[in-house]
A = this chain, B = another copy of it.
Amino acid sequence: MATITGVRVEDVRFPTSVTADGSDAMNKDADYSAAYVVLETDAPDPDDPGGTLGGYGLTFTIGRGNDIVAEAARQQAAALVGRDVDQLAADMGAVHRDLTADSQLRWLGPEKGVVHLSLAAVLNAAWDLVARRAGKPLWRLLVDMTPEELVDVADLRYLSDALTRDEALAILRTHEDTKQERVAALERTGYPVYTTSAGWLGYSDDKLRRLCQEAVDAGYQHVKLKVGADLGEDLRRLTIAREVLGPDRALMIDANQVWDVPEAIEWMGALARFDPLWIEEPTSPDDILGHAVVRRAVAPIGVATGEHCHNRVMFKQLFQAGAIDYCQLDTGRLASINEIVAVLLLAAKFGVPVCPHAGGVGLCEMVQHVSVLDYVAIGADLTGRVTEYVDHLHEHFTDPCLVADRGAGTAYVLPARPGYSTRMHEESLDRFRFPHGTYWVRDTADHVPH
């Protein structure tokens, strides 16, 4: 027996705005933050002699309002207290349905915004707990499921006009027999990544050039830059980046939603000569039809979006409308594995590569599991796939993601430790808990949060 005995939710904020890490055309002063959920149990942790089993999950925000998400998570997670962990594990589809079915909280979305971010945090913690209980990394727990088990986990509501349960099963069964081959391949090479660390808008030209060179030296084949604040600056920065990267490495650009549709098309006309692989978030993340118009206008440059795509119904339409070339689902915005599996299945049906959004806090730790799941059991293809990696804040996690170049370009090393990789060090919580952590109490003389 293992019973969930309590819930702890933490508002954790890192002062990233001080260094302009994470700065882009829409978000100039992000303080990377996590609404962090701990599900406490009364059972021993099989992986930690003397320790107690817990589930650790989070969603990512950029500062103010993280307390609001934390409070919503607190209210939603309360429904899990007293539940038996093994019963949860046996039907995680039902856990997801129970938590999304609160008719009063549903009004606040539905399935979007604060209550969906917080639900992601709670369910991420639940999935972490279930994987730790099983003693497996989450990707392994998922790829070990039968097609029927994985479909039962997926939230297919509102999708049947695009993907039936039978079609979903057929996709999974196609790849069932060859899963272990793909696991073995990833154990050799890792899962390919690109870096955004070089290209934040707030960095100087010298820093941009140096970081691009470091990315090349580290084996990256893909580098992403932020654009969209000023056309002249974009031209100058992209010239630098392309010089350093050379003609063969991929250069992606990200406008973070600053343009209207006609403006996106015009601006991209000026940036096309840098041969970007994709333009990311060219306009409002809600504008499915607008993305489709932009995509037709800027081809062969690809259109990518998803980090603000709030649920599977929006992704369904992005696919139906032929609006995107790359699906950048977000593990803090979708309601955890249940909704992510549904989107991976949709993407497989429509033939759109999934390149998850990462960076932030803990997103890299999570997306490695999702990309491995996709390749091993669902999409079963690496063509056009590359997952985001940003090199910061990993030191706060007990099982940080690792990247390495094993001869096929820089790649995530397959997670080997149990869980979803998002447990944070207690010392990090003590320092960056907002507003009473030691950093925020003592070290903020030169940094009032904006």
Contact = CB atoms under 8 A, between A and B. Distances in A.
Contacts of A158: 260-261, 283-284, 287, 290
A104 B450 contact: yes
B160 A260 contact: yes
A323 to B, nearest CB: 10
Contacts of A5: none
Q: Which of A65, A69, A72 has the most CB of B within 10 A?
A: A65
A311 to B, nearest CB: 7
A61 interface: yes
Interface string A115-153: 111000000000000000000000000000000000000
A369 interface: no
Contacts of A43: none
A388 interface: no
Contacts of A157: 260
A321 interface: yes
Contacts of A112: 109, 112-113, 286, 310
A437 interface: no
Contact of A26 (B29, B67, B106, B310): B106
A257 interface: yes
Q: How many copies does the complex hold?
A: 2
A158 B283 CA distance: 7
A28 interface: yes
Interface in A432-450: 450
Contacts of A64: 75, 102, 104-105
A266 B100 CA distance: 25
Interface stretch (A80-88, A178-186, A312-320, A351-359): A312-320
A26 B107 CA distance: 10
**Is the contact region of chain A dominated by helix, strand, or loop, or is it mixed?**
loop
A129 to B, nearest CB: 24
A29 B103 CA distance: 7
A72 B65 contact: yes
A61 B114 CA distance: 14
Contacts of A107: 27, 30, 61-63, 65
B287 A317 contact: yes
B27 A103 contact: yes
Residue from A30, A158, A257 whose CB has the most chain B CB atoms within 10 Å? A158
Contacts of A105: 64-65
Contact of A29 (B72, B104, B114): B104
A311 B308 CA distance: 15
B115 A261 contact: no
Contacts of A286: 111-112, 310-311, 313-314, 317
A286 B312 CA distance: 10
Nearest to A158: B284
Given A29-B103, A65-B75, A161-B290, 9 more contacts: A26-B106, A27-B103, A61-B108, A68-B108, A108-B117, A110-B285, A111-B286, A112-B286, A158-B290
21 contacts: A26-B106, A61-B104, A65-B105, A65-B107, A65-B115, A68-B72, A71-B71, A109-B112, A109-B113, A111-B284, A113-B114, A113-B310, A158-B284, A160-B261, A160-B262, A284-B313, A287-B313, A287-B316, A288-B288, A289-B321, A290-B313
